[in-house]
A and B are shown apart, each in its own frame.
Chain A
Amino acid sequence: MAGTWVFVEQRDGNIRKVTFEMLTEAKKYGDEVSAVVFGKGVKGLAPEFAKFGADKVYAVEGDVFADYNTGAYVAQIVAMINEFKPNAVLFAHSFNGRDFASRLAQKLEAGLATDVIAAEISAGKGLFTRAIYAGKALSKVEITTSPILATIRPGVFGVAESAGAGAVVEPAVAAGAGDVYQIVKEFKPTVSARPELTEAEVVVSGGRGCKGPEGIKIIEEFADLLGAAVGGSRASIDSGWLGHELQVGQTGKVVNPNLYVACGISGAIQHLAGMSSSKFIAAVNTDTEAPIFNVSDFGVVGDLFKVVPLLVAELKK
């Protein structure tokens, strides 16, 4: 049983922060920690993982791994798991991470805990906490199948540097890695210059209370002054004021910033499921009774069309 593997979440060499969060967490288990990275030209990333304590870096290079594809990725990692026998493998709870981990778990007939917010891993045993019923309850689950598999919610675990050897291992490309059944046609970036929601330190969100694109513009100006990501409730997304990738909540993204500012958002349970673990929550809402105030540290009962421009004016000073 050779240690904990962290599957690296990256694209074109841009490593997502959750990778470092997982490495930092894995260090706590006291076992060997390895980063596993698939892609093209990824070997050179090894020092990045060593900085966060990776003892080893399993780098798999090849055109077929350039973009995520379930068939080839699963075939490759299954071969590696059979050869190197890790005790546990952690994935990011991203869209691709959960796609990958789920198919792998089925192939290995192993248990998998998804969207994990707390973890304890020892030899042959994983104890994981995850939110259920739209965040109303926390469920603790135990996995004793091998290897222990989990997807980790971004933004929950801290990041701390610690030097690791980062020794590069280049496993053979598995026979089944030609198993490509999805042909990627294109990637259209949806991000603006703003930080990505799940990685942002500050998130400003707008809801139905923004009343339209004009209201959203006010929120965006405020967000930009704070260097924040912009998010929205289902209501503002469904109204077409913001892109789908910006929805915060159970069916959108789960965010975990230092500061979350909810503007014109009532605080429905599905929205809370996506932001209630933020460190400091502020809300602007005209309704004293809005449920968002029950989870807020600081709330302003007021009209966002007045309050937010005043904040903007002050920040510009």
Chain B
Amino acid sequence: MKVIVCYKIVPEEANIEINQDGSLSFANAEWKLSQYDLNAVEAAMQLVEAVGGSVTALTVGDQKIENSKLKKSILARGPEDLYLVKDERLKRADTHLTAAVLAAAVAYIGFDLVLCGEGSSDFYAQQVGIQLGELLQVPVINAVSKITPAGDRLIIERTLEDEIETLELSLPAVLAVTADINVTRLPGMKEILAAGKKPVTEWDLHKIGIRHAGPRVEEVSTLAPEQVARKKILVEGDSEPKIAEFLDYIRKELK
């Protein structure tokens, strides 16, 4: 099975700081691999370990995707090669543009299965995987929490709001996997060293035949949310009056 895993480079959200005027500072937020995509990589590795085949990693973006530590970090997790589509016009790509670029790239590379994370840990729009499937005109489904290969088909489990759905899809297909589909493995020193020797191919938009790179969604503003005023009452211990006070609040909110 030829599997392609898509991943995104995002800022470490825990280190994004909020300026006085409510704007965001990324000065201390280093670039990282989007967490949820690591679950997709792990799912791809487990599949290929079970049925044979190969895993290729793919990312699209501006020059930050060339960061050598990040390239090594993704390859150390198992994929045998890496494709980058680098173009400055992808700096603030919306989901449509991202999906269009991924679609062009995976068509060039060739695949049986494309795996994406459920959403990127920065904007978490949760659209790209699905839109990629539509562009490729292949079966696509989100919220995938288990994948079991069955010949040229896949048995998929989806964890929905209040039920688990089991369904069957034919290949080729695109799946967006949830963060709880697996526990990702941490690469060791050996894997990291080997990663440096794996092949990396770099393309630009022109190479994969994309001319138009405009957005469908316009960003108007990005600001820290107004802090909800919280009462912040803090009591210590479990004495009777404190428990009674706690219950008073609970009862008030119940009504």
Q: Evaluate whether A297 and B231 lie within 8 angstroms (CB atoms) in the complex, with A190-B162, A244-B180, A245-B161 already known.
A: yes
Specify the chain A residue showing the minimal Cβ separation from B227: A295
Contact A107 B235 (CB under 8 A): no
A282 contacts which chain B residues (CB < 8 A)?
246, 249-250
Complex CA distance for A124 and B168, rounded to whole angstroms: 39
Q: Evaluate whether A299 and B168 lie within 8 angstroms (CB atoms) in the complex, with A143-B216, A251-B179 already known.
A: no
Complex CA distance for A42 and B243, rounded to whole angstroms: 48
Contact B222 A70 (CB under 8 A): no
Interface residues of B, dominant DSSP: mixed
Complex CA distance for A259 and B183, rounded to whole angstroms: 32
A112 contacts which chain B residues (CB < 8 A)?
95, 125, 127, 216-217
Q: Is B139 among interface residues, defined by CB-CB distance under 8 A? A: yes
Q: Evaluate whether A109 and B96 lie within 8 angstroms (CB atoms) in the complex, with A282-B249, A303-B238 already known.
A: yes
Choose the segment among B53-61, B62-70, B115-123 that binds chain A (4+ C-beta atoms closer than 8 Å). B115-123
Binary flags per residue of B143-187, CB closer than 8 Å to A gives 1, else 0: 101000000000110111111111111100000001110010000
Choose the segment among B1-9, B11-19, B40-48, B193-201 that binds chain A (4+ C-beta atoms closer than 8 Å). B11-19
Interface residues of A, dominant DSSP: mixed
Complex CA distance for A176 and B222, rounded to whole angstroms: 40
Contact A95 B134 (CB under 8 A): no
Contact A244 B159 (CB under 8 A): yes
Contact B230 A281 (CB under 8 A): yes
B160 contacts which chain A residues (CB < 8 A)?
94-96, 245
Please pick, from A106, A132, A133, A302, the residue contacting B238 in the complex, using a CB distance under 8 A.
A302
Q: Evaluate whether A106 and B142 lie within 8 angstroms (CB atoms) in the complex, with A138-B225, A298-B233, A301-B237 already known.
A: no
**Shortest CB distance A170–B (Å):** 27
B155 contacts which chain A residues (CB < 8 A)?
185
Contact A251 B178 (CB under 8 A): yes
**Shortest CB distance A115–B (Å):** 7
Binary flags per residue of A274-317, CB closer than 8 Å to B gives 1, else 0: 00110111100000100001111111111100110011001100
Complex CA distance for A218 and B219, rounded to whole angstroms: 46
Q: Evaluate whether A138 and B243 lie within 8 angstroms (CB atoms) in the complex, with A114-B127, A302-B237 already known.
A: no
Please pick, from A99, A138, A201, the residue contacting B141 in the complex, using a CB distance under 8 A.
A99
Please pick, from A95, A190, A306, A315, the residue contacting B247 in the complex, using a CB distance under 8 A.
A315
Q: Is B135 among interface residues, defined by CB-CB distance under 8 A? A: yes
A197 contacts which chain B residues (CB < 8 A)?
161
Contact A184 B165 (CB under 8 A): yes
Q: Is A269 among interface residues, defined by CB-CB distance under 8 A? A: yes
A95 contacts which chain B residues (CB < 8 A)?
142-143, 158-161
Please pick, from B95, B165, B220, B237, the residue contacting A187 in the complex, using a CB distance under 8 A.
B165
Number of interface residues of B (CB under 8 A): 79
B250 contacts which chain A residues (CB < 8 A)?
226, 259, 261, 282, 311
Q: Evaluate whether A137 and B233 lie within 8 angstroms (CB atoms) in the complex, with A259-B254, A307-B238 already known.
A: no
Please pick, from B131, B167, B242, the residue contacting A300 in the complex, using a CB distance under 8 A.
B242
**Shortest CB distance A255–B (Å):** 12
Classify chain A: how many residues form its interface, as a range. Answer: 35 or more
Contact B243 A310 (CB under 8 A): yes
Q: Evaluate whether A141 and B218 lie within 8 angstroms (CB atoms) in the complex, with A280-B249, A298-B249 already known.
A: yes
Q: Evaluate whether A132 and B167 lie within 8 angstroms (CB atoms) in the complex, with A98-B142, A141-B220 already known.
A: no
Q: Is A247 among interface residues, defined by CB-CB distance under 8 A? A: yes
Q: Is B210 among interface residues, defined by CB-CB distance under 8 A? A: no
Binary flags per residue of A23-38, CB closer than 8 Å to B gives 1, else 0: 0000000000000000
Contact A139 B222 (CB under 8 A): yes
**Shortest CB distance A208–B (Å):** 16
Q: Evaluate whether A314 and B247 lie within 8 angstroms (CB atoms) in the complex, with A98-B142, A111-B216 already known.
A: yes
Q: Evaluate whether A196 and B220 lie within 8 angstroms (CB atoms) in the complex, with A112-B127, A288-B234, A297-B232 already known.
A: no
Complex CA distance for A117 and B96, rounded to whole angstroms: 21
**Shortest CB distance B25–A (Å):** 11
- A103-B134, A140-B221 given; name 16 further pairs at CB < 8 Å: A111-B94, A111-B215, A112-B127, A132-B123, A132-B222, A136-B24, A182-B168, A187-B165, A189-B162, A238-B183, A244-B178, A245-B160, A300-B246, A301-B236, A301-B237, A310-B238
